[in-house]
Amino acid sequence: MTLAAATDLAAATNENLASISNTLIYSSMAVYTLAFFAYIAEWLLGSRSKVGRTAAALTPAKTAKTAAPAVTVTKGGSTAVLERPKVVVRAAAGQRDVPDGPGAHGGDEQGDLYGRIAISLTVLAFLVEFGGVLTRALSVQRAPWGNMYEFNITFSTVAVGVYLGLLALKKNVRWLGLFLITTVLLDLGLAVTVLYTASDQLVPALHSYWLYIHVSTAIFCGAVFYVGAVSTLLYLFKDSYETKLANGGTPGRFANSVLDRLPSSASLDKFSYRVNAAVFPLWTFTIIAGAIWAGDAWGRYWGWDPKETWSFITWVAYACYLHARATAGWKGRKAAYLALVAFGCWLFNYYGVNIFVSGKHSYAGV
């Protein structure tokens, strides 16, 4: 690239829009912080008197094995029919017939009010952050995915968008809000401090329409994998809580007031499996699209570059998880651990490879 061309590229950066983008990102962090406190209020001020469904459901299940079920006799014509009542016991593969908790608000109006305020603030912060991402893109007239700072602010925006999208579809995922916003604030804090890169033009290898296809799908997949990982982690806590109750133990006050408000372990496990399974084909497409782009940019489709290698390792890990879910011996906690390992591979593929490993994908800007 000639000096004149480099000067033209630098002049193409709109510093005013770049400054507006930074202001919007910081503003979104402020609104996310307000949403965080609203979610905290939802959990703290929600009624604790309306929890205890898990304990109530598991206590009879423990004694049902020893108590003899009552038998009633009915007459059908001239034939006597013995009818035994259904007994709810622990289901196969470690799952239990336990109702979902009342949610973070605890089932009362005050907690629900704070929860609605938290969601409203989350929507506002999402719109402000989206504006920050958009003005960042307009400042350089390209997709805002040229370095890790831009990837981070886009990733957190998409993650919140996935959460709000699930709420819009009437899915019961309000329990995810506090955990999501906490990590979004950490992600943005990391972005504006350690990972920040001034608005600039792309390196030559990224000048391709595949940037819009490959990177956008990678960001979306990561956001959905993140939602699945959070629900998987909560499943492990809830499963331990239910196991302790089923064995006659007494969980602490924190577990009773927090974990009992979450969906049952079976619901959390099913939710995490569904979101991971739904996005896995798109992750497969992401790797294929990256290979095609590599063929156009570097003249080879696959070269075991660190980014390519860890993308494939992530694919294998999630493929093993999905296969494990179809195998009776690997349901429940074992499969959950595998899902967290798979998400850990995705995280290392992004942070570890971009920061600590050199390769053709070393354009993180830090």
Successive 10-residue mean pLDDT values, the chain, 366 residues: 44 80 96 96 81 66 44 48 40 62 84 93 97 92 85 94 91 89 94 85 69 89 94 92 84 79 90 93 93 80 84 94 80 89 92 72 54
245 contact partners, CB below 8 Å, separation of at least 6:
54, 55, 58, 59, 251
CA distances from 265 to 179, 187, 226, 260 (A): 17, 27, 18, 10
pLDDT at 215: 87
The pLDDT assigned to 327 comes to 78
Instruction: Spell out a b/e string for 104-124, using b for 16 or more CB atoms within 10 Å of the CB, else e.
Output: bbbbeeebbbbbebbbebbeb
Q: Which tokens sit at 347?
A: 């995280």
Chain centroid, CA 354 distance in Å: 21
Q: What is the pTM of this model?
A: 0.81
At which residue do the structure tokens 């912060």 appear? 125
- Predicted local distance difference test score (pLDDT) of residue 273: 92
The phi, psi pair for 31, rounded to 5°, reads -70, -40
